[in-house]
Amino acid sequence: MSRIQQTFAQLKIQNKAALIPFITAGDPDPQLTVAILHGLVEAGADIIELGVPFSDPMADGPTIQRASERALKHHVGLRDVLAMVAEFRTTNATTPIVLMGYANPIEHMGYATFAQAAHQAGVDGVLTVDIPPEESVAEIFTAAGVDTIFLLSPTTPDTRINLVASKASGFVYYVSLKGVTGSANLDLDEVAQHIPVIRERCGLPVGVGFGIRDAATAAKIAQFADAVVIGSRIVEEIENSPREQVVSNLIKFVAEVRAAMNAVAKG
């Protein structure tokens, strides 16, 4: 059983949803990333999405685009991100890490080379937003012991859902909004209707992300989703905090979200 599977299995016993914060590796600077990862775990994160900086992050809104820009000023590349995960693993062998990014850096390294390097570093899953399931490299990742995570949205056709169901492992990421990360206008009722269908079709836990900005919303989603993903709001906290307060401010916010999620039971 993988670390991701173990995490969801343990949370299911506790009747809790996973809390999955997102940060961009190297933001605000590479020296702080591992400390941020440990701080997120301390605050109650169950799985962490670690963004790989990229110069053209088309699926991301302005907040996460700026995070990539800050990291790229420090020349943070894919191998640097893997080194950060490896450093994190020296003192944390249990919290799953999912890399989120774009195909270009992986293609440049080579899919098989990347998959092996990711596994050796301690990466548990990869979500590549611009590799559709039709062109999936899931077999390469699976062979290396790395889960392949895909995005589904309210407009995903049935044929695509079936394809994702045949390729995905770990969990499925349901994009709760049309548009880019950090958008507004989250329709909780619509999301709640979709989750059980996707869970049954894919046979995997379903995480919900895009548009979750506060503890109250996270708690509502935790009642019907298997995981709550918070990205732009976390990155804003990093962007707006003095460097020496980044970790403590993140711990405070994430702990508030975790407490709110713990206070509700999954339906």
Which tens digits make up the pLDDT trace of 45-73? 999 999 999 988 777 889 999 999 999 99
Query: Would you please indicate which residues are annotated as catalytic (active-site) residues?
Result: 49, 60
Which among 144, 166, 187 is positioned nearest to 174, based on CA atoms? 187
Report residue 166's pLDDT band, with 50, 70 and 90 as the boundaries: very high
CB atoms within 10 A of CB 186: 17
Percentage of the chain beyond pLDDT 90 is 81
Crossing angle (nearest 10°) for helices 215-222 and 188-202:
40
Report residue 182's pLDDT band, with 50, 70 and 90 as the boundaries: very low
User: Does residue 214 register a pLDDT over 50?
Assistant: yes
pLDDT value at position 187? 77
pLDDT tens for residues 99-120? 999 999 999 999 999 999 999 9
Tell me what the mean pLDDT of segment 156-177 comes to. Answer: 92
Tell me what the mean pLDDT of segment 19-30 comes to. Answer: 98
What is the pTM (predicted TM-score) of this model? 0.95
Report residue 7's pLDDT band, with 50, 70 and 90 as the boundaries: very high
Which domains does the chain carry?
3-263 (3.20.20.70)
Which among 201, 264, 266, 258 is positioned nearest to 234, based on CA atoms? 258
pLDDT value at position 184? 53
Tell me what the mean pLDDT of segment 214-243 comes to. Answer: 97
CB atoms within 10 A of CB 211: 24
User: Tokens for 80?
Assistant: 């640097």
Q: Locate tokens 């109250």: which residue?
A: 216
Q: What is the mean pLDDT of the chain?
A: 93
